[in-house]
Structure 1
């Protein structure tokens, strides 16, 4: 095995972390007789040689030896090597269009795909391999890389007639669905086969897999009673004796081992239903009905899968989710920690949408301190998901629990940020505790800013002027060389500005900051406290023109001055003509607040809206302030409200605040239309 590997000049090649001279050790590790060593080697391949999907010269050099490993039938764990080859060849990056006539990306990625295609004949024999894990991985590899559609289709359908393993047959159905999407000219026979697989007497897992694939490649062929059919199949599958999805693996300290420990108890069931949900996309009514069926299953594994799948629906699509949220809330009462943690985690991401689960969250928070603060083996404690979800939902029952946290020995840093969701009236009892904690923040610690900023944020939002002395203690006492001092000063200035005229004792300190790196924040705070435009206008005009990195914040501050900022109009008009979308959007909003002339504002708002979805909430707020003058742009608001997809939904990632920001946008759009 590995003939010629030592003749390769590995030291001249690179991977994610430098020289590839140690890659032969990883390749030999994949052939080790020790299961732990094989897993560590595979983890090393993904961690360095194929880091985050990248293809290096060393990745290309590995391909022949990976194919050699796959060809040794006595070697365990070859299914993972097949999956690695598929990923090196492009993975699912080529799932969105037909293969016929397509062009590959230039460079190492194209060479990798060519190399995998050149060896793809090796995948044909793997469909009948003695290792079920290899047979599960083979259909995807075969469809993606063996450029002989008729042969591939024959191999898949032929293997379906022979395969006896219930855990392998769904992979063959997935291969047929992938075939139909990639080989569109030859898709019809594959679709017909999937239609046949959807019906009895096939086992429930295979039928679920076929339905998921049919939804992705031929949704018009789905049965009219899709949801009840899927729920019935899910119930039938759950009643069957549970066969482990994967063979037992060693407990290693690798990323692969960590991810395996996070997998749901029924990984295969989760995969089958997730495929169907993904294919249904924006058919939210069907997906809600399906999730209700999943969440009422007698099997906790089914409910746990449904909780995580609901998160994907909530993040991407708008809808009426009250019933689903209640069902997710009910999972908080389960004895199974995996399910309880999943439900709390999803509710934490919903903010105000989690309100229907408030009773369940409050009950869990009241059960013990572990549901209020999460302790970690390393690092500082954090707010536990149940309490964070309750606070983010704006539920006043979170106040008592947050007070207990603030009065405890260690305050999780994010506590101050979560207080704001309760609203000033409900959160007012927390202000004295927040002030006390701020007074305890050390002046020169490594984490002074991290500890102080959330507390300053909350006190500013609560307009708690009694805390001004503690704010000034930090401002005057933090040493000049303190890490993140400039950010700390800005946070202090913002908090002082939030306190308004009641923070007058801070005026001298704020005036001294007008010439430093926190000039914009200081000027904004000084305006809020003192209301003297003459004192702050020179600073804001200077920062608007001379400091491009501060221009956006300066424009926002000038807008808050209103008509008193008229001397800044020429510079703001030039900023409106800027090619940078965010600067144009903020400057246009400031123009309206200062001059009240919709003429130059509306075109700038429209162009920014159309170019960057992240600006929508700011622009909707501006249109609210414009009232009837913003009517020519109200078509943008109506279109947004009629759009079923969340404005920040995107492939390949998401932010933990996407749902909340989208719901804020919807409220702003309605407010703007109501103000007309």
Structure 2
């Protein structure tokens, strides 16, 4: 793989743009795009870039023009300099090379100061462009011009209206006019926008002949044999996500951004996109469907059913893409269960190892999505994967969602774990995945294999794996008692994370409070110096003197978190921790205050409710990322959580996932369920 330039300075990067080596040019362009925000000499390099952009002998001229436009978008001072070169961009927008024109057209909306002249130039350019992608870019540039220079807006909007209804114009250009007219007035999107778009889409799809088969699987050039298969697959998925199959895709993304949380309207548009006979249109629509469901709350059942139909598509790339989206949205994907099962069962488990990569991926994505729904009809394919050792890493990750098939799958995963090579860095990710799966399946017979992995990880000094094994053993509780002799020595490890994980495992496996509690309580006391180990000195007094000591510093936060997570499980027998927990919930960072408040409730109960509620709600208000553990604690508090009702109701009123700090659909759906559960139990 190409390892970069010898001279990473701006002159070195600019010189590399003329290199005969395509990989060196690509590397230089990538670095220049990344440096736009931070490189102090970026503006000084503009004349050199313009010289290359206008020289027909320059390799990758279109990429140079695109870089200039990117610089102008990001740096105000550069934009001023680029406006002085507006005539150059006008010439580039008429260049014989379509790639150069495509890169230059946006500049006509971004860097022309004479709005009327720029609008005329763009409108005159439209009929000269034979390609749909370039015509759409011209309409987009006009909208950019209208937004940047309001003096031109009225005329441009009127022109958009005429173009949208012009039967002589091609359909994609009319669609661009409809959408970008709405883009120019985002605060007052008309009710006829979506019907107009759907009408044009219907006409386009009706006139579109069936598309060619979709492109093949992503290639992984530059990844050597030492890359774990999980990483290679992630790069392939990223490459697929970056593909654009249809010239209207960027345009329709703009529409979806404008519509935001209007789920019904966006679903109607996506339905029309998904009925296209063109495979590229459908692949892009499938990805947009995933974007909608993962970013916005709402009733997505209709969209799930639309994607379920794509799972049965004859094109394996379309079927795989739909199944992958359904798998990523599994908390809401139940309406697709039978469609996924039909594909999985019809082809049988042997399809997991099909020799054709496209067929194999389509089957595997459907199996994984079905498994994530907890459907045991996925188990035969996973069994085949694990026994035949074909893409077994993917089967390991999917198996964790099938506890009902643990007697079938857990022994196979445990066998793989027992054969894992703990000396190799590349195997560490797979080992962690196997430990997580065995923990979630909870099959007691796999404890010896997990304990053996602990011995191997200690022998090879794999602190991360040791921590993962200890966490897995802790999930088995007393059923992992046979591993106590291996766990105990690790509570004195020099690695802090290993110590904390060992204490947590010991507390759940042995439940010997006399052995565990003093060490846990000691973790709540920050050391007075970096080199001083924390020693528990008995219950701390509360009051001004204690409060003055304040919360622990950054170096001790992880220790406190580790302690309170275990103390929360111990409950009332850990009463000696109550005074210190009261101090910790009174200030500091939310990710420490919230677990401390939860532990205080589990240990102290009702008398601590006022302190706990105040800490939880203030932390939630300051940092939405703690919403999940806050609501989980409120649920356990029962009637004492009544002061949180307004916060719970406000959370459910949010339409966008992430407004409360949650960005993962699984976590967000869990949060919503928990909020509804607490509200219901409070009688609201």
Asked if these proteins are the same fold (TM beyond 0.5), I'd say yes
Aligned to 1:419: 399
* Contact 1:15 1:57 (C-alpha < 8 Å) held by counterparts: no
Distance 2:183 2:319 in 1: 31
Aligned to 1:600: 611
Aligned to 2:474: 497
* Per-residue deviation, 1:61: 4.2
Aligned to 1:56: 39
Would you say how many aligned residue pairs link Structure 1 and Structure 2?
621
Q: 1:304 to 1:472 in 2, by over 3 A?
A: closer
- The question of 1:613 aligning with 2:624 is answered yes
Distance 1:649 1:169 in 2: 40
SS of 1:268's equivalent in the other structure is: coil
Aligned to 1:104: none
1:313-341: CA deviations, max 9, x gaps?
11210122222222212222223233223
Distance 1:557 1:382 in 2: 43
Instruction: Pick the aligned partner of 1:471 from 431, 450, 467.
Output: 450
Matches within 5 A, 1:308-347: 308-347=287-326
Matches within 5 A, 1:7-406: 18-20=8-10, 22-23=12-13, 25-29=15-19, 40=23, 43-51=26-34, 53-54=36-37, 56=39, 59-72=42-55, 78-90=61-73, 109-160=75-126, 166-184=132-150, 186-201=152-167, 202-219=169-186, 224-238=191-205, 239=207, 266-366=245-345, 367=347, 372=352, 384-406=364-386
Distance 2:80 2:470 in 1: 58
Aligned to 1:664: 670
Matches within 5 A, 1:577-656: 577-596=586-605, 597-647=608-658
* Contact 2:478 2:510 (C-alpha < 8 Å) held by counterparts: yes
Distance 1:230 1:602 in 2: 49
Task: Please list every run of 5 or more consecutive structure 2 residues that lacks an aligned counterpart in the other structure.
Answer: 213-218, 224-235, 527-555
Q: 1:214 to 1:515 in 2, by over 3 A?
A: same
* Per-residue deviation, 1:308: 1.2
* Per-residue deviation, 1:287: 0.2
* Per-residue deviation, 1:623: 0.7
* Per-residue deviation, 1:627: 1.0
1:434-463: CA deviations, max 9, x gaps?
333333334544456434322222222333
Q: Which of 614-623 and 640-649 deviates more? A: 640-649
SS of 1:18's equivalent in the other structure is: coil
Matches within 5 A, 1:475-490: 475-482=454-461, 485-490=462-467
* Contact 1:463 1:500 (C-alpha < 8 Å) held by counterparts: no
1:43-102: CA deviations, max 9, x gaps?
2332233337555356444321222233347878644332221112235xxxxxxxxxxx
* Contact 1:373 1:383 (C-alpha < 8 Å) held by counterparts: no
| TM-score, length basis structure 1 | 0.82
- The question of 1:529 aligning with 2:515 is answered no
* Per-residue deviation, 1:646: 0.5
1:286-313: CA deviations, max 9, x gaps?
1011111211223322222211111111
* Contact 2:585 2:597 (C-alpha < 8 Å) held by counterparts: yes
Aligned to 1:540: 520
* Per-residue deviation, 1:21: 5.7
Aligned to 1:3: none
Distance 2:600 2:420 in 1: 40
Q: Which of 455-464 and 269-278 deviates more? A: 455-464
Distance 1:21 1:213 in 2: 39
* Per-residue deviation, 1:42: 5.1
* Contact 2:491 2:500 (C-alpha < 8 Å) held by counterparts: yes
SS of 1:267's equivalent in the other structure is: coil
Aligned to 1:11: none
* Per-residue deviation, 1:194: 2.0
* Per-residue deviation, 1:475: 2.4
* Contact 2:350 2:381 (C-alpha < 8 Å) held by counterparts: no
Distance 1:59 1:415 in 2: 48
* Contact 2:422 2:428 (C-alpha < 8 Å) held by counterparts: no
* Contact 1:27 1:65 (C-alpha < 8 Å) held by counterparts: no
1:2-34: CA deviations, max 9, x gaps?
xxxxxxxxxxxx9897345644543435xx8xx
1:96-151: CA deviations, max 9, x gaps?
xxxxxxxxxxxxx4543343233233223344444444443334212222333343
1:500-526: CA deviations, max 9, x gaps?
222222333333322223232222222
Distance 2:645 2:353 in 1: 45
Q: Which of 559-568 and 331-340 deviates more? A: 331-340
SS of 1:224's equivalent in the other structure is: coil
Instruction: Pick the aligned partner of 1:557 from 555, 562, 566.
Output: 566
* Per-residue deviation, 1:566: 1.5
Distance 1:586 1:375 in 2: 50
Task: Please list every run of 5 or more consecutive structure 1 residues that lacks an aligned counterpart in the other structure.
Answer: 1-13, 92-108, 245-250
| TM-score, length basis structure 2 | 0.81
Matches within 5 A, 1:507-526: 507-516=484-493, 517=495, 518-526=498-506
Q: 1:151 to 1:575 in 2, by over 3 A?
A: farther
* Per-residue deviation, 1:175: 1.1
* Contact 1:215 1:280 (C-alpha < 8 Å) held by counterparts: no
* Per-residue deviation, 1:633: 0.9
* Contact 1:374 1:384 (C-alpha < 8 Å) held by counterparts: no
Distance 1:370 1:75 in 2: 52
* Per-residue deviation, 1:167: 4.1
Distance 2:440 2:484 in 1: 19
- The question of 1:574 aligning with 2:553 is answered no
Q: 1:55 to 1:63 in 2, by over 3 A?
A: farther
* Contact 1:576 1:587 (C-alpha < 8 Å) held by counterparts: yes
